[in-house]
Homo-oligomer: A and B are copies of this chain.
Amino acid sequence: MVSRRVVIVGGVAGGASCAARLRRLDENAEIFVFERGGFVSFANCGLPYYIGGVIAPRERLIVASPERFRDYFNIEIRVHHEVTKIDRENRIVHVRNCQTGTSFTRPYDNLVLSPGARPIVPNVPGVDLPGVFTLRLLEDAERIYRWLEDRQVTRAVVVGAGYIGLEMVENLVHRNIAVTLVEAANQILPGFDGEMVVPFYDKLAAHEVEILLGSPLCAIEPHNSQLAVVAGGKRIPCGAVILCVGVRPEVTLAENAGLEIGELGGIRVDEQMRTTDPSIFAVGDAVEVKDLVTGKWTWVPLAGVASRQARVAADAICGRLSQFRGALGTAIVTAFGVTIAKTGLTEKAAQRDGVRYQKSYSHSPHHATYYPGAKSIAIKLLFDPQDGRILGAQAVGETGVDKRIDIIAMAIQKGGTIFDLEEAELCYAPQFGSARDPINIAGFVAGNVCRGDADLAYWEDLDHKPQADAPLVVDVRTPGEHAAGAPPRAINIPLGELRSRLHELPTDRELWVHCGIGQRAYYAARILKQKGFRVKNLSGGYVTYRMYRRSKPAD
C-alpha cells in the first residue's frame, strides 16, 4: 500500500516544506524526516530578535512541531537524529540517535537532502573560548540569550557586518549592550554596493556602535575573566562575541556519498532539484542554483528560495514536471530604522560576472510630499544599456523600501525593462505613493539614458578624470543649497537662471550638471543639450555624491 518511501535529511525550512508538499501529493507515501537539531520548522530569521527580547517567548519561533506534522500530514519526524551516511547502492541511510547514541538504517526510494548551511568560524585563536558564539540554530540563540542574561553582559563584539551581524547589533543595542562591530571588508553589508549602505553609518553612530571596517578578526583572548577581541589594530574587551561571518553549505553527507559539489561549494542539482544521483534530491541552503539574471551558478541561502525548491523537489518525486527557474537573490535587512533591499545583480556582482550594464540613481519620497511623513528612498538600478532589461536594483530608506524592490523583483522575473518601470501603474493615495511613484521615477531616469535624452556621469568618474580632460561641474541648485555643501570645484548656476546665463558656460569643455537628487539637473541638461553644449547629468545628484564620498574608506 506504500507508494514510495521518502527520507528527508533536515527538518527546518526546505525539509519540512518538502515533506508537507509530498504528503499533499501522495497520501500513500511513507515519509521520514531526520533532523539533527532539537527542533523542526523553526524561524531561523527570528533568532536575533529572540536574543534582543523583541520576540518572546521562545515558543513563538517554533513554526510547527513534530506532533503537528504527524497529526496533519502523517509524517514521522525524528529530532536529534543525524543521518551519518548514505548507502546509494542499497538506497539506505544510516541514522544515529544523538541522544541515545544508537544507530539504525532506513531504506528509501527517494532521498531529499536539506541539511542547510553551517556558520563559518574564522580560523583564529580563541574562537572556542566560552562566550564566543555562532548563531544558526534555536539552541545557539538560547545559549547566547542565557549567557547575556547570566553574565549581565554590558559590552559585546559582533564579528561580521552581514545581514545577521547587523541584526545582532541592533538587538544587542536593544538590550542596552554596548557593541563594537568588526568587519573585514571596507563596508558593512558586503552583499550590497558600498555607497548604498551609507545611511546605516549615521544610525549606527547615533546608537554608539563602534564600527571597525577593513578589520579582519585576528584573535579572541581571555581578558580579566571576560574576553578581548583583537581586530583592526585594537583590542576590544567585552563580555560576549557573536561570530556572524557567514555560512557555508553543509555538504559533508553529500560529498561523502560522491554527489557532485559545485564550484561555490553547494550541492549541484538540476532544475528539478535532482542531484547527480537521480533518486536523491537536494534543496535549500546546501544547494547551488542558477541565477535568474545571468544564468550562472549562484548560491542563495534564503528561506523563500528554499521553500520554492522544496515544492519542486516534492513535485519531481511525485512525477510532476515543476522546475526551479532560478533565483534573484532578493534580500532585505533593516536596523535602527533604515532598511536596505536588493533584487538581481548589484554593481559588484555585475562587475564580477562580467555583465554589461548601465546604472542610474534616483531619490524619491516614499509617498506624496504634501502628506506628512514622506521619507526619501534611494534606488540604484542596473540595466542593459542596449535593450533596457533590468539586471538588478538596490533601494535604501526608512520606509517603503521592501515594496519597491518587490515590484522590481516581479519585473525582473518577467523579463521586464526600465520602460516597464516607467509605465508601472501603482497604488496612489497620499499615504502610499505618488502619481509618479519612486518606481516610475527610477524608470524615467534610466529610460532617459536608454533613449539618449540624458547622458549620465558618475561621481567616481570625476575622481578618475585626468585634469586635462576635466569636465566643468555645474551645480544648478539654489545659491543657498550650494553654500550649504557642494562638491569641490563646482560652479553654481541655479536652474531658474540657466537660460539667461548660457554665455557663462564654456563650449569646449564637457559640462557635468548636478542638483540635489538629479531632477533639476535633468531639466538643465535638456536645455544645455538642445543649446549645443556637451553635457552629462551626475546621476543621483548631491545626495548620491554624499553617499559615494562617505563610502570611501579614506574619508
Contact = CB atoms under 8 A, between A and B. Distances in A.
Interface of A: 13, 23-28, 43, 45-46, 49, 54-55, 60-61, 63, 71-74, 163, 292, 302-308, 325, 327-334, 339, 341, 343, 368-372, 402-403, 405-407, 409-411, 413-416, 420, 422-433, 435-437, 439-440, 453, 495-496, 499, 520, 522-523, 526-527, 530-531
Contact of A429 (B28, B332, B406, B499): B332
Given A46-B368, A414-B416, A409 B424 contact: yes
Contact of A435 (B304, B427, B530): B304
Contacts of A425: 292, 304-305, 308, 327-330, 343, 409, 413
A435 B409 CA distance: 15
Nearest to A54: B372
Nearest to A524: B72
A45 B427 CA distance: 12
B334 A429 contact: yes
Contacts of A339: 432
The residue in A23, A327, A331, A426 that gathers the most chain B C-beta atoms within 10 A of its C-beta is: A426
B46 A431 contact: no
A499 B370 contact: no
Contacts of A328: 425
Contacts of A372: 54-55
Contact of A45 (B45, B325, B430, B523): B430
4 smallest A-B Cβ distances: which pairs?
A: A71-B496, A414-B414, A303-B435, A332-B427
A307 B424 CA distance: 11
A427 to B, nearest CB: 4
Nearest to A341: B427
- Copies of the polypeptide in the assembly: 2
Contacts of A403: 402-403, 406
B402 A410 contact: no
A328 B433 CA distance: 16
B308 A423 contact: yes
A45 B368 CA distance: 10
Given A43-B370, A54-B372, A432-B332, A427 B406 contact: yes
A18 B330 CA distance: 36
24 contacts: A24-B523, A43-B370, A45-B429, A46-B370, A46-B430, A54-B372, A63-B370, A73-B523, A74-B499, A163-B429, A303-B428, A304-B436, A304-B437, A307-B436, A308-B425, A325-B423, A330-B427, A331-B427, A332-B427, A339-B432, A343-B425, A410-B416, A411-B414, A414-B414
| A420, A423, A499, most chain B CB atoms within 10 A | A423
Given A46-B368, A428-B332, A27 B304 contact: no
A305 B425 CA distance: 7
A60 B365 CA distance: 15
A530 B416 CA distance: 40
A21 to B, nearest CB: 10
A55 B427 contact: no
Contacts of A45: 368, 428-430, 435
Contacts of A437: 304
Nearest to A329: B425
B341 A495 contact: no
Contacts of A423: 308, 325, 413
B407 A371 contact: no
Nearest to A476: B72
A235 B385 CA distance: 65
B413 A420 contact: yes
